[in-house]
């Protein structure tokens, strides 16, 4: 199994665990929607190393997201895999959570982010979820 398949497998397992956990919560959901999660590595595909700071990479991802989305969430992560040479590898990773976008637009978003950060690919997962906004006591007045 090559390193990208191993990365994909690890991230998918983590995503499924998260979906199972959050899927069991009941918050009087009233709106079904597709949520997408993009996993964006920050090591340059040609050099195998970061070519800019992690914060600058996150800033660039945010700039691209603003072209396609009204809202999104970015998180920091670290991806691990075993390289083709059998050695362990890791990479600082940006996780981008989005909803309110269609499949074609998320593909354009992922492609543009991948080009901006010089990635071989951006992994995208899609989940059907129930969404609700729970108002705090202060804002409910």
pLDDT in tens, the chain (141 residues): 666 556 555 555 555 545 444 444 444 444 568 999 999 999 999 998 999 999 999 999 999 999 999 899 999 999 988 888 899 989 999 999 999 899 999 999 999 999 999 998 999 999 998 888 899 887 655
> Looking at the domain covering 3-25+35-130, what would its CATH class be?
alpha beta
Global confidence as pTM: 0.72
Q: Is 90 in contact with 79 (CB distance < 8 Å)? A: yes
- Half-sphere exposure of residue 136, counting CA atoms within 13 Å on the CB side? 2
In the sheet where 123-131 sits, what is the strand order? 73-82, 88-99, 31-41, 123-131
pLDDT at 30: 46
CA 15 to CA 79: how far, in whole Å? 13
The Cα 5–Cα 7 span in angstroms is 5
- Backbone Cα Rg of the chain: 17
Q: Is residue 125 within 8 Å of residue 40, measured between CB atoms?
A: no
What pLDDT was estimated at residue 27?
43
């Amino acid at each position: 199994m090559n390193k990208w398949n191993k990365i994909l497998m690890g991230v998918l397992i983590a995503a499924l665990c998260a979906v199972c956990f959050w899927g069991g919560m009941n918050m009087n959901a009233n709106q079904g929607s597709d949520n997408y999660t993009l996993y964006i590595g920050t090591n340059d595909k040609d050099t195998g190393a970061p070519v800019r700071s992690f914060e600058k990479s996150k800033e660039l991802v945010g700039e691209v997201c603003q072209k396609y989305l009204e809202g999104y969430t970015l998180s920091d992560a670290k991806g691990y895999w075993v390289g083709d040479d059998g050695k362990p590898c890791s990479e600082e990773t940006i996780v981008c959570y989005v909803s309110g976008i269609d499949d074609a637009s998320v593909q354009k978003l992922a492609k543009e982010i991948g080009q901006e950060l010089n990635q071989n690919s951006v992994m995208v997962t899609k989940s059907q979820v129930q969404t609700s906004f729970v108002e705090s006591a202060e804002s409910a007045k």
